[in-house]
Every structure is written in structure tokens, then in C-alpha cells.
Amino acid sequence: MRYRDLGNTGLRVSEIGFGPEWMKGTPEETRAIAEVLREAGANILDCWMSDPHIRSNLGYAIKGHEDEWIIQAHFGACWVDGQYQRSRDLDLVRPAFEDELHRLGIDHAEIGMMHYIDSLDEFRACMEGPFFAYVQEMKEAGVIRHIGLSTHNPDVALEACRTGSVEAIMFSINPAFDMLPASDDIDDLFGDYADAGESIDPVRDELYRTCATMGVGLTVMKPYAGGRLLSAEESPFGVALTPKQCIHYCLTRPAVATVLAGYKTIQEAKDALAYEDAAPEELDYASVLAKAPAHAYFGQCTYCGHCQPCVEGIDIATVNKFADLALAQDEVPASVREHYRALDKDASDCIQCGSCEPNCPFGVKIAERMVQTAALFG
């Protein structure tokens, strides 16, 4: 395992980390994955999920080795009435953060992430109000060692970087999210990063370079775009990349220290860890994307779950995933149909209130998708 400096924090983190997003397996399954990663040298773990079941499983998974993990804990990822909810209300934020530490079996976290702030107005309000004051209080008390921020918005990340108060940023990075529609000579666009400035969204390009200059470390979420980039049928490019290629893309961005992919199986963890021993030709994403027939990406669900909570209790990410699996085939597979029907709530329960859409980092027209999915599954 290779290690990198996380900005100016003084932390040395593994290139491959553990981002256990929506892990719903047993405690033993979670521990098995964590052990494969730890034994390979992975040393950084993110826990944004507020689901008590997942937090407890992670606590069990790292028990006895807590001191070997650099943990990103989150301020504002709450569990309310059985659903994930992000909040800046300290009456929710405080107990949720304390619960996270308790369930993970730790008394401090190396990085305290201000959870999922995707608008400049919200970021400024957080920094000027009691939310950031609480984060600072936790740092002064030693409950967190460094202040971080998780966001999908490069404008927010840039402003956070420039405040001088944020030491690490968890940001969504992959070729799809980074690239504007490609030129005819896509080989040039996906070659050496130093020559690819015109192919990267200018704000993202500025973010990566500013973070590198100011010593703000980047930890990566969404390296596979919710798994889409690993499938030619689902990829916005129309071609499949490998985990090694996606990880290499992320790690060649300035200021990036670690890639926090999610793993539901031991094999998925091993596929990411294989990056460390990969030959140069295995890392070549440029040649694959050079032949890509399509390059649009905005508006596609990555199943991140930030659309929650749904007022009707619909698991929107899962509904979208089943819809995408169904649409990838000529007709709806029976297995997908049965899994969809087993949901407590499905797309037909959507009341078209639209309250989920402002929460989506990627501009998915969720209400419209619910109508289409209800029709798709009859």
C-alpha cells in the first residue's frame, strides 16, 4: 500500500480507503471486508451514514483495531424517524455525532466532516452560525483533530478551501463528473493531466489546484459514479472502466490523497486494492474513453441517498437502481421485478411533491423518474 499526505494535516493516509456507504450486510460480513482492507494497509475510513445498523456494524468491524484507522466522522448526518436526514439543527446534530462516536467505539475522530453542504448560501450560514461554532468546540476539546467538509459542489469546496479553516474536503471525483462534453480529439483531453486543463470543468480544475497550493487534502467519494462507470450499459460514456482505471483517474488529480470507494463484498475490496500492484497499461483510462460513444453525465442517479428523506418513505435510490437495471435490458428481468415489488414503498407511492429534488447533487428529475418507473413496472 502506498500512502499520501492529507494536505497539511500531518496525516498519512492509504491511497485505497474504506467508504462503507449503505452497507446493509451482517456485522461479520462488514468485519471481513474491513479486515481485508486493513491487512492490505488501508488506514482511512469514512462513516457518513447515519443508519444505526451500519454504524454499529462498522464499530464491530474495527473493534480491537480502532487506533489503526483514521476516521472521518460527520456533523449533520442524522437519523430521524427511521430515515437519513441532514441537518444543521444542533438539537439533532449533537446527539447524532455522539451516537456515531459511541457506535464506532471511539472517543475521537481524526477528521470531523461538516456533512454534505452543497450551496454557497448554506455554507456561509453554517460558517457564521452555531453549527460551525460547535465543530470548532469539538476540535478545541480534542474530540476531532481536523475540520473537514463533504460536498459535491466545486464552488462550495473552493470557498471552503480559501477560508483557511477547512483542512480536508471529501469531494465527488470521477471522469464523468469532471469532464465537459469532449472534443473530437478526446485522446488529448484524457492524457497527461497537465495538458488536460481545457477538458476539466474550469471550476473543478481550479479547485484541485487551489487545494494543492493551500495544502487542503482531498478525499474522494463516488469514484465509480455509483457503479455506473463499471458498466458499459450504465456508463454515461457508453464504455466500461475498471476499478483500477477509475481509481487512477482520481489519484492523478492534484491534492487527492485517498479514494474511498464503497464495497459490498470482499471481492469488490480486492478489486480496488489491486490498484496498488497494477501495471501501467491496466491504469490507462485514456484509451478506453477515447473510444467512448457518449459523454453526457448530468442528471443521472448515482444512488447516493441524499434525496432522502422522502415524505412518503420511498427509498428513492433503490427505486432508481431497480429502474436502471430494468432499462438496461430489452424487457424487465423477473428478478428485478420481484425485488422491486418487495419494496415497502415504490414509485407509484410518489405524490410528486418534489421535496427530494433540491437535495440531489446531480440534478436528477426525481419526480419525473418516479412516474416513468411506476409505468415501467406496471
**Sign of the dihedral through C-alpha 127, 128, 134, 140:** positive
The confidence score (pLDDT) of residue 207 equals 93
- Find the range with the poorest average confidence among 56-65, 148-157, 187-196, 367-376: 187-196
pLDDT at residue 186 is higher than 70:
no
State residue 151 phi and psi, 5-degree precision. Answer: -160, 155
Question: Residues with Cβ < 8 Å from 94, sequence gap 6 or more?
Answer: 134
For the chain, domain boundaries:
3-290, 316-376
Q: What is the mean pLDDT of residues 299-325?
A: 83
Q: What is the mean pLDDT of residues 354-374?
A: 90
- Domain range 3-290, its CATH number among 3.40.800.10, 3.40.50.150, 3.20.20.100, 1.10.240.10: 3.20.20.100
CA 50, CA 22: separation in Å to the nearest integer? 10
Note the helical H segments in 87-201.
90-104, 120-128, 130-140, 154-163, 175-178, 186-189
The confidence score (pLDDT) of residue 146 equals 98
Distance from the first to the final alpha carbon of the chain: 49
> Which of helix, strand or coil describes residue 312?
coil
The confidence score (pLDDT) of residue 199 equals 53
The confidence score (pLDDT) of residue 290 equals 66
Q: Considering the chain, what percentage of its residues have pLDDT values greater than 70?
A: 90
Per the listing, cell 481524526 goes with 110
Q: What is the mean pLDDT of residues 199-212?
A: 83
Q: What is the mean pLDDT of residues 56-81?
A: 95
What band does 202 get if pLDDT is binned at 50, 70 and 90? confident
What rounded mean pLDDT belongs to the chain?
A: 88
R_g of the chain computed on alpha carbons: 20
Of residues 37, 35, 32, 48, the one with CA closest to residue 13: 37
Higher pLDDT, 193 or 174: 174
